[in-house]
Amino acid sequence: MPKPNRLTSENWIAAGFLSLAQNGPKSLRAEPLARSLKTTKGSFYWHFADVPAFHQAMLTLWEERAFSSIVAELDTMPDPRQRLRALGQIAAVSAPEEMGGQDLEPAIRAWGRDDTNVAEAIARVDAKREGYLADQLAQLGLSNPAFARIIYAAYVGGDDLCSRDGSDPAPALTTLIDLILALE
């Protein structure tokens, strides 16, 4: 008889993101996650020393995917205009459905209201993202820092709105980027 597939730490983290998006931060505990994965808490503790270690693993992965992965993709493009327009499209692509989809980032931001570690991770990602936007705009001679702030605020707010109404944030963000690029 074949052995059942064993869960990996990545399975637990994906289940954590999905649970966060669907049920909020109080669901990020070993027992409810184990129930959702139809396994025991022992499997959770095999991969993570405790719940805070699990939370840290989630945040580490989110930080990587929320900035570094996106920038690596954008930096393959030679022109800052092209990178900014692509950013409007990439930013609109939500996390995979199995990780909470469009609701993930608003859920992480909500979690950060009550958890200092999460708030610090969000602040790091926000600073990197806004800095990247400012750098791309400055390469085009658009050095007013308010432009990067406006684009980023539209992304954060649009993401939250779209998680509530299910609409696509790409058209509005792309239009805003095009309007700012027209000032060049």
Tens digit of pLDDT per residue, the chain (184 long)? 344 468 999 999 999 999 999 999 999 999 999 999 999 999 999 999 999 999 999 999 999 988 888 899 899 999 999 999 998 777 666 666 666 677 888 899 999 999 999 999 999 999 999 999 999 999 999 999 999 999 999 988 888 887 788 788 888 888 999 999 999 8
pLDDT for 99 equals 67
**Domain presence at residue 149:** yes
**Domain presence at residue 157:** yes
Can you give the residue range of the structural domain that contains 64? 9-181
Write down the H helix ranges in the chain.
9-23, 30-36, 41-47, 51-63, 69-74, 80-92, 104-112, 116-138, 145-165, 170-181
Residue 155 to residue 106: CA distance in whole angstroms: 11
pLDDT for 94 equals 61
CATH number at residue 139: 1.10.357.10
**Domain presence at residue 3:** no
pLDDT for 92 equals 62
22 within 8 A of 100, measured Cβ to Cβ = yes
Q: Fill in the DSSP letter of residue 99.
A: G
**Domain presence at residue 1:** no
Residue 16 to residue 28: CA distance in whole angstroms: 6
Look up residue 128 and give its two tokens: 């990197």
108 within 8 A of 28, measured Cβ to Cβ = no
153-161: Cβ within 8 A, 24+ apart: 155/91, 155/129, 156/109, 156/126, 159/91, 159/102, 159/105, 159/106, 160/106, 160/109
Q: Which of 156, 176, 61 is nearest to 110 (CA)?
A: 156
**Domain presence at residue 72:** yes
**Domain presence at residue 68:** yes
pLDDT for 93 equals 66
pTM over 0.75: yes
Q: Fill in the DSSP letter of residue 77.
A: S
**Domain presence at residue 4:** no
The total number of structural domains in the chain stands at 1
SS3 14: helix
75 within 8 A of 83, measured Cβ to Cβ = yes
Amino acid at 148: A
pLDDT for 2 equals 42
